[in-house]
Structure 1
């Protein structure tokens, strides 16, 4: 089956950016409106958090069907349907009249958004080819890094101005451009429409398993016990799926991890993402709880990081394409670890800006490395696997940071935050081990198409 989208890299990049910006924005823009939503919908803040949680869980549960949907209906059709579903969910959320209706409509929105990111990554990887993989990942990494940071400030402006319903209506003009752009710029690809079997039993294990793990980790991050039932039930379901997947690869082919380039890159991304998500959650908490800063001051602390990353991501893409990913990624991790150390010792915006410079090098180069040795037919499954791994790594990093902070506080440590920052630095440093394998001449050939 041919998955490749035969269109220009620039046109594909435009289409993907329009879709990814919306979905990433909606992961954080609602967080600042919980108070207004609770007031207008006559409920509690604890209950209204399901408007944010439902979106994230729906996104996670949808990702596993990416490969099957692309093979059955084609990249173009899946992208258009996901955009339409996302904007329909946005309009419904804006018209919500109760908490129940809002949560249901956020799930609709999340189902569309859950497909957009991996399918967009797939389209970019196919359009770029191996020779431009670094630039492709740099293109998608910039909004993935900047947009979630910009979500809370934009959400605050909308809530204080026209009201919380505009948190969702803001997607409509973007979709009004994204849908016709995709319709006009993405050609119909050959190979779609084949009767590919959907592994329903596998999906019944993996999708609820992922949702349960992510929900359990989020609860642990909010102060619940690491023995939270949802976490362990989810892990059991995912483990059962993994065992089954070794016999039936129709939903996800876990044997792709046998490609050492892909496996090492995904492992590096998992360690690094867990460290960075944990760190970026701790920084605002430290600003407010330990330093006495305001919510706005806490949010602005992350701005230099976003600026630094935006500067180096395009450069990292070009360097990765010309010189390979290993050196670029290793340099980025070293800079990130040194910047976290600088933040612990001195604080201020300069270490955060330097951290952003390093982050831009790591995120782009390692993601590009993950796809460099794969055959075109393996990329749909690879994008799904990498997306699932990162969806799990982020909440794990946040939960680890939260648990460590709670343990240190209960132990009577006077200043617990520096210790948690050092742990984040150490976890980021661990990613150097799999990064060192990228490009190793001792590897066997790609196993992206196992016998």
Structure 2
């Protein structure tokens, strides 16, 4: 296969393992203890461009979930049909993620990034002018494809801009939208739906993405591949296996709360097909010989990336389980409006934002493992009051708890992302990013599905009992997340 840059070799060799054959590469303590590399003005400019460009996609993915009831009425549709506005977006993202590595090698990260932003903003405008439910679902799927390219590219290009030197400060900057999106999205969505037309949920993306495109053009380094190096091949077989596999798994999980649960055909069939195709893909991607799979899962054998991916799966589950339940608790159990529910979630966003200013330094001080474990335990502890709360529980108490929960949620992304790349060679960076992004995406769907099923199954115990039981499941997810967290390297991330 023709490559534009050196690719990892066969698994088990120093080239594939990214270790250069040295001992101790699986532990961060074995990495150079040099001072943390400073973010140069060039790197800061690239980070600003990536954050501004990516924030619209991340906020949009969470804002629209609040508009389901509104869209049912405005588009004269049904809840089952309108749910595909979010399901289609999710499935299109799953289709796009595996091709980002090949696309970056084929055209260069900057060009693919700007193309992805263009696809996203054009589809946003199309969503805003949608005339019925089918048109909105179709345009939303196109928007999801653009977002599926944006999310992993944001991480990859940040690491590229820093010359492969991954630091906790770098990850704190690039993961800021990912952490705040699910928290601030409902707030902004509530404001829009209260005072403006639902179409503005999509139109507000236009100025943000326009600024992001201008910044990307100016600050992202030109990394288009050398034409003389040849064109990288796309692993069509792997793509044909992995994309429907992810789509089937995510579709099955998204419908798990439907009547019949796991035994329902709409759940069981896509899950079985998805898992079956995933098994075939794993065998295909790990077969002996020199080859470049569409997503190089062989890199998961490295302790740094393997443990980080497992933690990001559980982090996605813990984060989105809470974000699914909290707005529903305020609206359905306490009778708050969409706007009020969004505003009541602000303390969690403040806590997550505040954590970004200290987590990077704490990773360098106490290590990724200890900080991640502490973050999950804080998230679990701050969710317990909601598992005991009823419709009359003091809002002041719950708002203070949400502030702490935001700190916990904001503390569990940066540490694993900081260590994920420490054993990865430059050519493997896109594959490492796709592995972590897929893990987080599937984890988010898994966590949401678990608490949705719990909420639905406990309805017979009354609304209060149903929400309390679902929140206990959310607590359990955060506690269970400690298990993979203890597998993270104990020392500081490479370059710190």
Tell me if both proteins adopt one fold, taking TM over 0.5 as the criterion: yes
**1:219 alignment partner, one of 249, 255, 270:** 255
Relative to structure 2, which stretch is displaced further, 128-137 or 356-365?
A: 128-137
Structure 1 CA distance, aligned partners of 2:201 and 2:409? Answer: 28
Relative to structure 2, which stretch is displaced further, 26-35 or 74-83?
A: 26-35
The aligned residue for residue 207 of structure 1 is 243
The aligned residue for residue 449 of structure 1 is none
Structure 2 CA distance, aligned partners of 1:192 and 1:323? Answer: 42
Query: SS of the counterpart of 1:202?
Result: helix
- Is this contact kept in 2: 1:55–1:106, CA < 8 A? yes
The aligned residue for residue 113 of structure 1 is 147
Structure 1 position 316, deviation (Å):
0.7
Relative to structure 2, which stretch is displaced further, 189-198 or 85-94?
A: 189-198
TM-score for both structures, normalised by structure 1: 0.89
The aligned residue for residue 235 of structure 1 is 275
Query: Over residues 98-128 of structure 1, what are the superposed CA-to-partner deviations in whole Å (9 max), with x where a residue is unaligned?
Result: 3222222222222111101100110112233
The aligned residue for residue 272 of structure 1 is 315
**1:255 alignment partner, one of 274, 293, 298:** 298
Instruction: Check if 1:335 corresponds to 2:378.
Output: yes
Query: SS of the counterpart of 1:220?
Result: coil
Query: Over residues 328-380 of structure 1, what are the superposed CA-to-partner deviations in whole Å (9 max), with x where a residue is unaligned?
Result: 22222222222223443566112211111122222211221212232222110
Instruction: Check if 1:197 corresponds to 2:233.
Output: yes
The aligned residue for residue 33 of structure 1 is 67
- Is this contact kept in 1: 2:58–2:181, CA < 8 A? yes
Structure 1 position 161, deviation (Å):
4.0
Structure 1 position 28, deviation (Å):
2.2
TM-score for both structures, normalised by structure 2: 0.81
Query: Over residues 19-45 of structure 1, what are the superposed CA-to-partner deviations in whole Å (9 max), with x where a residue is unaligned?
Result: 211111211222333344344434333
The Cα RMSD (Å) is 2.7
**2:417 alignment partner, one of 348, 360, 367:** 367
The aligned residue for residue 138 of structure 1 is 172
**1:417 alignment partner, one of 467, 475, 481:** 467
Number of equivalenced pairs: 440
From the superposition, tell whether residues 352 and 110 of structure 1 become closer, same or farther in structure 2 (CA, over 3 Å).
same
Query: Over residues 158-188 of structure 1, what are the superposed CA-to-partner deviations in whole Å (9 max), with x where a residue is unaligned?
Result: 3454422222221111122111221121222
**1:358 alignment partner, one of 401, 408, 433:** 408
Query: Over residues 246-271 of structure 1, what are the superposed CA-to-partner deviations in whole Å (9 max), with x where a residue is unaligned?
Result: 12542111111100111111112212
From the superposition, tell whether residues 153 and 342 of structure 1 become closer, same or farther in structure 2 (CA, over 3 Å).
closer
From the superposition, tell whether residues 36 and 95 of structure 1 become closer, same or farther in structure 2 (CA, over 3 Å).
same
Instruction: Check if 1:8 corresponds to 2:42.
Output: yes
- Is this contact kept in 1: 2:189–2:342, CA < 8 A? no
Q: Which runs of 5+ in 1 are unaligned?
A: 446-451
The aligned residue for residue 132 of structure 2 is 98
Query: SS of the counterpart of 1:137?
Result: helix
Structure 1 position 302, deviation (Å):
2.8
The aligned residue for residue 72 of structure 1 is 106
- Is this contact kept in 1: 2:164–2:426, CA < 8 A? no
Structure 1 CA distance, aligned partners of 2:424 and 2:483? Answer: 21
From the superposition, tell whether residues 293 and 413 of structure 1 become closer, same or farther in structure 2 (CA, over 3 Å).
closer
From the superposition, tell whether residues 97 and 337 of structure 1 become closer, same or farther in structure 2 (CA, over 3 Å).
closer
Structure 1 position 307, deviation (Å):
0.9
Structure 2 CA distance, aligned partners of 1:238 and 1:398? Answer: 21
The aligned residue for residue 52 of structure 2 is 18
- Is this contact kept in 2: 1:301–1:352, CA < 8 A? no
From the superposition, tell whether residues 295 and 432 of structure 1 become closer, same or farther in structure 2 (CA, over 3 Å).
same
